Amino acid sequence: MTTSPFNRRDFLTSIAGTALVYAIDAPAQTGPRPNITVRIDRDLAVLDPAHRTGPWEGNVMRVVYQRLMRQKANSAELELDAAAEIRQVSPTVIEFRLKPGQMFTDGFGEMTADDVKFSFERIGLPPKDGAKESSYKNDWLHLQGVEVKNKYEGRIVLTHARANLYDVVIADGSGCIVSRKAVEQRGADFATRPVGSGPYQLVSLERQKGATLRRNATYAGRKPYYEEIAIRFVSDARTTDLALRSGELDFAILAPSAAEPLRSVAGLTVNEQPSIAYVWLGMNVDKAPLSDLRVRQAIRLALDVDQMLVAGYNGKAPRLNTLLPPQILGHWREAPVYKRNVAEARSLLAAAGASNLKLKLLILNQAAYQNMALVARALLADVGVTVEVDAQEGGTFWNSGKGDTGKNIDLFITRFNGKHDPNFIMQWFVAGQIGNWNWQRWNSPEFDALYTQSAGELDPARRRQMVIDAQRLMDNSAAFVWLTNEANVLVYRSWIRPAGVPGWIDWQYDEFGAAT
Amino acid sequence: MMRYLASRLVTTVLIVIGAMLLLFTLSAVVPGDPATTLLGPQATPELSRRFIVEMGLDQPVHIRLWRFFVNVLTGNLGVDVISGRPVGSLIREVIPYTLILTFSAVGLAVLIGVPLGVFAATHRGSVLDNVLAFVSVAFIAVPSFVIAIFLLLIFAIWLDWLPVLGASRTGALGDEVKRMILPTLALALGWIGFIARLVRTSMLEVLGEPYIRTSRAYGLSERLVTYKYALKNACIPTITILGMGIGRLLGGAILVEIVFARPGLGRLIYHAISERNYPVVQGAVLVVVALFVVVNLLVDLSYSAIDPRIRHDTSNSGAAG
Amino acid at B216: R
Cβ <8 Å between B167 and A207: no
Q: Answer left, alpha or beta for residue B162, where phi above 0 means left and psi between -120 and 50 means alpha.
A: beta
Write the pLDDT tens digit of every residue in A38-72: 999 999 989 999 999 888 999 999 999 999 999 99
Cβ <8 Å between A436 and B45: yes
Note the pLDDT of residue A474.
98
| B123 at interface of A, judged by CB pairs closer than 8 A | no
Note the pLDDT of residue A10.
53
Beta-carbon contacts of residue A214 (< 8 Å; ≥ 6 apart): A200, A201, A203, A227, A228
Contact B8, B246 (CB under 8 A): no
Q: How far apart are CA A229 and CA A199, in angstroms?
A: 12
Residue A390: beta bridge partners?
A: A362
Alpha helices in A352-436 (DSSP H): 367-381, 394-397, 422-426
Residue A38: beta bridge partners?
A: A231, A251
Contact A339, A506 (CB under 8 A): no
Torsion angle, alpha carbons of A87, A89, A94, A95, to 10: -60
Chain B residue whose CA is closest to A42 = B271
Cβ <8 Å between B160 and A417: no
Residues A105 and A165 in one domain: yes
Shortest CB distance from A23 goes to which of B153, B156, B161? Answer: B161
> Which of A76, A46, A40 is closest to A328 using CA atoms?
A76
Chain B residue whose CA is closest to A20 = B161
Report the range of poorest mean pLDDT among A103-112, A497-506, B75-84, B262-271: B75-84
| B78 at interface of A, judged by CB pairs closer than 8 A | no
Note the pLDDT of residue A1.
41
Q: How far apart are CA A483 and CA A12, in angstroms?
A: 58
Percent of chain A scored above 70 by pLDDT?
94
Q: How far apart are CA A445 and CA A434, in angstroms?
A: 13
Q: Is the pLDDT of residue A469 over 90?
A: yes
B residues 28-47 closer than 8 Å to A (CB): 30-33, 35-47
Write the pLDDT tens digit of every residue in A89-98: 999 999 999 9
Which H or E run contains A212? strand A210-215
Which backbone phi and psi does B175 adopt, to 5 degrees? -65, -40
> Which of A272, A266, A267, A268 is closest to A254 using CA atoms?
A272
| B125 at interface of A, judged by CB pairs closer than 8 A | no
Residues A393 and A508 in one domain: no
Cα B320 from chain centroid (whole Å): 34
Segment B232-242 shows an average pLDDT of: 85
Torsion angle, alpha carbons of B237, B238, B239, B243, to 10: 100
Q: Is residue A42 part of a domain?
A: yes
Cβ <8 Å between A236 and B258: yes
CATH of the domain at A152: 3.40.190.10
Segment B86-109 shows an average pLDDT of: 91
Q: Is residue A296 part of a domain?
A: yes
Which backbone phi and psi does A414 adopt, to 5 degrees? -145, 170
Cβ <8 Å between B169 and A37: yes
Contact A160, A143 (CB under 8 A): no
| B160 at interface of A, judged by CB pairs closer than 8 A | yes
Q: How confident is the model at residue B309 (pLDDT cuts 50, 70, 90)?
A: low
Alpha helices in A388-444 (DSSP H): 394-397, 422-426
Residue of B92, B158, B160 to mutate, testing the A interface (most A Cβ within 10 Å of its Cβ) = B160
Query: Highest mean pLDDT range out of A7-16, A77-86, B155-164?
Result: A77-86
Mean pLDDT in chain A? 91
| B140 at interface of A, judged by CB pairs closer than 8 A | no
Cα A85 from chain centroid (whole Å): 29
Q: How confident is the model at residue A28 (pLDDT cuts 50, 70, 90)?
A: very low
Which H or E run contains A385? strand A385-392
Contacts from A297-300 at CB under 8 Å and sequence distance 24+? A297/A345, A297/A348, A297/A478, A298/A344, A298/A345, A298/A346, A298/A348, A298/A349, A298/A352, A298/A354, A298/A383, A299/A345, A299/A380, A299/A385, A299/A411, A299/A478, A299/A481, A300/A338, A300/A478, A300/A481
Is this complex scored with an ipTM above 0.85? no
How many Cβ contacts (< 8 angstroms) between chains A and B?
140
Q: Is residue A263 part of a domain?
A: no
Q: Is residue A46 part of a domain?
A: yes
Exposure b/e, B87-111, CB count within 10 A at least 16 = b = bbebbebbbebbbbbbebbbebbbe
Cα angle A437-A441-A447, degrees, rounded to a multiple of 5:
90
Segment A254-263 shows an average pLDDT of: 90
Beta-carbon contacts of residue A16 (< 8 Å; ≥ 6 apart): none
Q: How confident is the model at residue A115 (pLDDT cuts 50, 70, 90)?
A: very high
Cβ <8 Å between B163 and A136: no
Considering only CB atoms, which chain B residues are within 8 Å of A11? none
Residues A218 and A288 in one domain: no
Can you state the percent helix, strand and coil of chain A, rounding each to 5? 35, 25, 40
Which backbone phi and psi does A39 adopt, to 5 degrees? -105, 135
Residues A286 and A326 in one domain: yes
Note the pLDDT of residue B184.
94
Residues A245 and A326 in one domain: no
Report DSSP state, residue A219.
-
Report the range of poorest mean pLDDT among A16-25, A28-37, B164-173, B227-236: A16-25
Report the range of poorest mean pLDDT among A142-146, A277-281, B136-140, B248-252: B248-252
CA torsion sign for B184, B168, B268, A59 is positive
Q: Is the pLDDT of residue A27 over 60?
A: no
Residues A234 and A93 in one domain: yes
Write the pLDDT tens digit of every residue in A155-186: 999 999 999 999 999 999 999 999 999 999 99
Write the pLDDT tens digit of every residue in A472-490: 999 999 999 999 999 899 9
Which backbone phi and psi does A418 adopt, to 5 degrees? -110, 175
Residues A318 and A342 in one domain: yes
Cβ <8 Å between A246 and B157: yes
Q: Is the pLDDT of residue A424 over 70?
A: yes
Q: Is residue A12 part of a domain?
A: no
Percent of chain B scored above 90 by pLDDT?
26
Amino acid at B19: A
> Which of A218, A98, A191 is closest to B82 using CA atoms?
A191
**A464 to each of A191, A384, B262, how far by Cα in Å?**
38, 40, 48
Q: How far apart are CA B213 and CA B207, in angstroms?
A: 8
Cβ <8 Å between B40 and A416: yes
Residues A360 and A291 in one domain: yes
Peptide bond into A27 cis (omega under 30): no
- Chain A: give the shortest CA distance to residue B85, in Å: 7
Q: Is residue A113 part of a domain?
A: yes
Note the pLDDT of residue A20.
42
Write the pLDDT tens digit of every residue in A431-443: 999 988 999 999 9
**Which residue did the predictor score with more confidence, A25 or A357?**
A357
**A466 to each of A347, A456, A459, how far by Cα in Å?**
34, 11, 11
**B315 to each of B302, B309, B311, how far by Cα in Å?**
15, 10, 6
Contact A399, B33 (CB under 8 A): yes
- Chain B: give the shortest CA distance to residue A384, in Å: 33
| B185 at interface of A, judged by CB pairs closer than 8 A | no
| B87 at interface of A, judged by CB pairs closer than 8 A | no
Segment B145-168 shows an average pLDDT of: 90
- Chain B: give the shortest CA distance to residue A340, in Å: 31
Residues A197 and A308 in one domain: no
Q: How confident is the model at residue B77 (pLDDT cuts 50, 70, 90)?
A: confident
Q: How far apart are CA A277 and CA A506, in angstroms?
A: 12
Cβ <8 Å between B160 and A395: no
- In this structure, chain A runs to a length of 516
Torsion angle, alpha carbons of B58, B64, B67, B68, to 10: 120
Amino acid at B43: A
Q: Is residue A6 part of a domain?
A: no
Peptide bond into A32 cis (omega under 30): yes
Segment A138-142 shows an average pLDDT of: 91
Considering only CB atoms, which chain B residues are within 8 Å of A19? 159, 161
Contact A169, A39 (CB under 8 A): no
Beta-carbon contacts of residue B240 (< 8 Å; ≥ 6 apart): B299
Report the range of poorest mean pLDDT among A135-144, B147-156, B244-253: B244-253
Which H or E run contains B14? helix B2-29
Note the pLDDT of residue B320.
36
Q: Is residue A440 part of a domain?
A: yes
Which H or E run contains A203? strand A200-206
Note the pLDDT of residue B38.
66
| B177 at interface of A, judged by CB pairs closer than 8 A | no
Q: Is the pLDDT of residue A229 over 60?
A: yes
Mean pLDDT in chain B? 83
Considering only CB atoms, which chain B residues are within 8 Å of A212? 169
Note the pLDDT of residue B1.
67
The domain total for chain A is: 2
Provide the domain limits for residue A39: 35-255+489-514
Q: Is the pLDDT of residue B316 over 70?
A: no
Q: Is the pLDDT of residue A12 over 60?
A: no
Q: Where are the beta strands (DSSP E) in A417-486?
A: 480-484
**B5 to each of A99, B314, B317, how far by Cα in Å?**
70, 10, 12
Residues A190 and A300 in one domain: no
Residues A116 and A220 in one domain: yes
Cβ <8 Å between B37 and A395: yes
Residue of A209, A268, A438 to mutate, testing the B interface (most B Cβ within 10 Å of its Cβ) = A209
Q: Is the pLDDT of residue A17 over 80?
A: no
Q: How far apart are CA B48 and CA B284, in angstroms?
A: 23
Neighbour-count burial of B2, counting CB atoms closer than 10 A to its CB (0-12 exposed, 13-18 middle, 19+ buried)? exposed
| B260 at interface of A, judged by CB pairs closer than 8 A | yes
Residue A96: beta bridge partners?
A: A86, A154
Cβ <8 Å between A395 and B276: yes
Note the pLDDT of residue A21.
44
Segment A137-150 shows an average pLDDT of: 94
Residues A414 and A326 in one domain: yes
Write the pLDDT tens digit of every residue in A292-337: 999 999 999 999 999 999 999 888 899 999 999 998 999 999 999 9
Write the pLDDT tens digit of every residue in A377-397: 999 999 999 999 999 988 889
Shortest CB distance from B32 goes to which of A46, A206, A396? Answer: A396
Q: How confident is the model at residue A25 (pLDDT cuts 50, 70, 90)?
A: very low
Note the pLDDT of residue B44.
66
CATH of the domain at A301: 3.10.105.10
Q: How far apart are CA A238 and CA B152, in angstroms?
A: 10
Residue A94: beta bridge partners?
A: A88, A156
Q: Is the pLDDT of residue B307 over 90?
A: no
Considering only CB atoms, which chain B residues are within 8 Å of A2? 222-223
- In this structure, chain B runs to a length of 321
pTM over 0.95: no
